[in-house]
Chains A and B, each alone.
Chain A
Amino acid sequence: DAGITQSPRHKVTETGTPVTLRCHQTENHRYMYWYRQDPGHGLRLIHYSYGVKDTDKGEVSDGYSVSRSKTEDFLLTLESATSSQTSVYFCAIGGRGGNEQFFGPGTRLTVL
């Protein structure tokens, strides 16, 4: 299994509070991603990173920011959480140049 961990695994928070989710990899992979999964949908890309300090937006990036100060860590921040951001968040690594993506275990976030 790819060495990907996510923390926390579950979180309940209130509307308007900041939230940071962490993804940690031990594979030294250049590419990292954050996706969200909502009921009845596949995963949708929020942001991705193609190296330390290099990030770009995905299709559902509004309300989210990311940071990558080290190869192994990719942080997703909700500056002011809203109920529409209640979802399961998956981190992934890999891809590009013929490499497949592997996914972490997910973080279930509930915004009340």
Chain B
Amino acid sequence: GIQVEQSPPDLILQEGANSTLRCNFSDSVNNLQWFHQNPWGQLINLFYIPSGTKQNGRLSATTVATERYSLLYISSSQTTDSGVYFCAVELKETSGSRLTFGEGTQLTVNP
């Protein structure tokens, strides 16, 4: 099956710092989503980005589908950005719509 690899696995930042999270995937995809899982376990949709670049406030994401990777940028990080960031992809050749998740990047933002 498709492999989804996220890096780094852990990241510790001081408040105000910028960071880049990476997601590599092994096959062509229909869909790529970034999620933030907050400390209470809730999964929050950040981006639906099968290709191209999107921005939402301090967060932006870029997916280069031809090279099979996506990047999530967090600028001017805040303590509320702490949590786990997941990348998830849907294969092009599937009969259903199933997301395969990476193992996540654990982000800790210290005040």
Contact residues of A with B, CB < 8 Å? 31, 33, 40-45, 48, 50, 56, 58-59, 88, 90, 92, 94-103, 105-106
Q: Which residues of B contact A40 (CB under 8 A)?
A: 103
Q: Which residues of B contact A102 (CB under 8 A)?
A: 45
Pairs across A and B, CB under 8 Å, 12 listed: A33-B99, A42-B4, A42-B86, A44-B101, A59-B1, A88-B41, A95-B97, A95-B99, A101-B97, A103-B43, A105-B41, A105-B42
Q: Mark B1-21, 1 if CB is under 8 A from A, else 0.
A: 100100000000000000000
Q: Which residues of B contact A90 (CB under 8 A)?
A: 43
Q: Which residues of B contact A48 (CB under 8 A)?
A: 96-98
Q: How many A-B residue pairs have CB under 8 A?
A: 63
- With contacts A45-B98, A45-B100, A103-B43 known, what are 7 further pairs, Cβ within 8 A? A33-B99, A40-B103, A42-B101, A42-B103, A99-B97, A100-B48, A105-B41
Q: A43 touching B96 by the CB < 8 A rule?
A: no
Q: Mark B26-45, 1 if CB is under 8 A from A, else 0.
A: 00001101010000011101
Q: B41 touching A106 by the CB < 8 A rule?
A: yes
Q: Which residues of A contact B41 (CB under 8 A)?
A: 88, 105-106
A95-B90, A98-B31, A103-B43 known; A43 vs B99 contact (CB < 8 Å): yes
The 6 A-B residue pairs with the shortest CB-CB distance, nearest first, are A42-B101, A95-B97, A96-B97, A100-B48, A103-B43, A43-B101
Q: Which residues of A contact B45 (CB under 8 A)?
A: 100, 102-103
B104 within 8 A of A: yes
Q: A42 touching B42 by the CB < 8 A rule?
A: no
